[in-house]
Structure formats: C-alpha cells, structure tokens
Structure 1
Amino acid sequence: MNKHRLFLCSITLAIFLLSNCTQQKAVKHQMDAKHTICYTATDQRDTAWLKIDTANQHILGELTFTYQNGNHYEGLVKAVMKGDTLKGYYSFRLNKVDKWYKNPIALLKKENTLTMGIGEMMTLWGSGFFDKSVPIDYEKARFVFEQTGCAIN
C-alpha cells in the first residue's frame, strides 16, 4: 500500500514539474507576429533585446541581456499595459543554466521607446516585487529600448 502511494506521489510530482518546464517555452509560440514589436537598448558595452506581443492589454514577450562581463540573461516577460506603463514579471535564466529566476519589471512607453524603470524591490515568500510606497524611477534608467524591426523565430 505504501509503495503504491509513493509511486502515485512520484508520478504526480513528475507531471507537475514537466508542465512547469513547458510553460516557460510556450510563450514564444503564443506570440502573434502581426502584433509583435522589437526593441534594442545599449548601455556602454551592455546590450538588451526585447520582443513583445502587443495584441492586447496582457503582454507576452522575450527579453535578453548580454553584459560585457560575459553574463547572458534570457527569459520571458509577462506583463500588463496600463496607460503608458508596462508592469509585470521577467522570468529568466543566467548563462543558459536551467535554473529560473523571477523579478518584477516596469517599462515606461514614450513614442517609440520603452524605458526600464528602477524600483525598490522587496521579497515575500521568495517572490520579488516593487515596493509600492517607493515610486519607480525612470530617469536613472540604464536601458532605454528603441523600436526596431523584427521577425518571430
């Protein structure tokens, strides 16, 4: 009886873990090429690429950072557009290691640019979020994304 229970728990856990892994990869296939906009940003020798689907208020996208020190961050953006501000989360991995991290993200839209804001982060139960009592600063931004042409790969 205990072996049967252990087997069922193991199978359930395996299915849960596999479904979470595929959710990270599915965003690329959910993006609509007709509504996809690409952006690039540079800060000295660091570069960032952003590709977002703007078909509706709930934004899906991909974001990659390549830093001079060799670190390479790549991941997915899930956010909501409210007025001129895009707020949500960036789920990413570092240097292609299969360990995922999640940070809040805020981008301010002005014409054909998106400015990545800097906010005071807090952590609760392992999840990061912006402290609502401290305004997000878009003036000190390292990355100002400019719209470029793109194609869905």
Structure 2
Amino acid sequence: MVCIAFALLLFTGCKKGNNDTDKPLRYIAENGKLKGILDLNIVGTEFYGRYEIVNGVNGSDIGQVRGKIKGDTLIGNYYYKPWAGTNKKRIPIALLKKDGYLLEGKGVVVEFVNIPHFSPDIPIDFSNPRFIFIPVTDTISIKK
C-alpha cells in the first residue's frame, strides 16, 4: 500500500508543468463592422478554443476552433452556429503567426465526403487577411 502511494506521488510530482492549457490566449481583431474574438489553447502541435465573430448590429457567429500547427501556420476547422441559423456549420480556418500577431488567411474551399477543407493545390493567401488578431494581455478590458 505504501508503494502504491509513493508511486502515485512520484508520477504526479514528475508531471510536466504545461501552462499551455491553463489559460487560453486571447486575441482580438477588427475589420470594419466585424470584430473577432479568439480564445486559443495551444498544446504541442495542436490548438483548440473559442472563436466569435461579432457582425455589428446583426449578432454573432459563435463556435469552436480546432486543428494542427504546422510550422508558423495553424490549420483547422471552425464549427459554429450562425447568428440567424439553427444548424451548425463547419468551415476551414488558417492562421499565420507573424510578429506576434495571427493573420486569418483565405483559401479555396473544397469538400470531400461533405467535409470542407482548403484545397491542397492552391496556397492559402495571407497577404490580405480578413482579420489580424492582436494578443490581449488584460482580458478584463475586452468589451463585446
């Protein structure tokens, strides 16, 4: 019994301190009447989090992002419920890490087995991003 307790203590004491999952990183962006709020968790080569697109006076698209990190690019999916719709939607998302910011790229979307993703034959364009996300260190100051 003492050996089991010691082994449990040893394993929990040697647990890697992974602060990536403790608190999501918050990013905000604006583009005209659109505002993006991204709460992002990064764990190893994967990311997940919450993404909200505020459409001015029309409402918000709120959902989850999840995907993989390849170099300086985060590629995944955005599952959301449109402000005026009842059915959840899924679209691909690509974010480029550049100078501490995240740039949301645009690409050609194709479907395979009814699952949308960016075409592997056409590069994702980050030269004119829809959003440039700025990291926020003081999450209390964010207003929707």
TM-score by length of 2: 0.76
Matches within 5 A, 1:1-153: 32-34=21-23, 36-68=24-56, 70-95=58-83, 97-149=85-137, 150=139
Kindly state the Cα deviation for residue 56 of structure 1 after the two structures are TM-superposed. 2.0
In structure 1, what is the Cα distance between the partners aligned to 2:22 and 2:35? Answer: 23
Deviations 1:8-40 (A, max 9, x none): xxxxxxxxxxxxxxxxxxxxxxx8234x21100
Structure 2: 5+ residue stretches without partners? 1-19
In structure 2, what is the Cα distance between the partners aligned to 1:59 and 1:113? Answer: 16
Deviations 1:33-83 (A, max 9, x none): 34x211000001210000111232111111000113614111001111111
4+ residue runs over 2 A deviation: 31-34
Secondary structure, counterpart of 2:58 in structure 1: coil
In structure 1, what is the Cα distance between the partners aligned to 2:71 and 2:111? Answer: 26
Kindly state the Cα deviation for residue 88 of structure 1 after the two structures are TM-superposed. 0.7
- Quote the RMSD (CA, aligned, Å): 1.9
Structure 1: 5+ residue stretches without partners? 1-30
In structure 1, what is the Cα distance between the partners aligned to 2:128 and 2:26? Answer: 22
Secondary structure, counterpart of 2:43 in structure 1: coil
Number of aligned pairs? 120
In structure 2, what is the Cα distance between the partners aligned to 1:117 and 1:49? Answer: 16
Secondary structure, counterpart of 2:135 in structure 1: strand
Secondary structure, counterpart of 2:79 in structure 1: strand
Kindly state the Cα deviation for residue 125 of structure 1 after the two structures are TM-superposed. 2.4
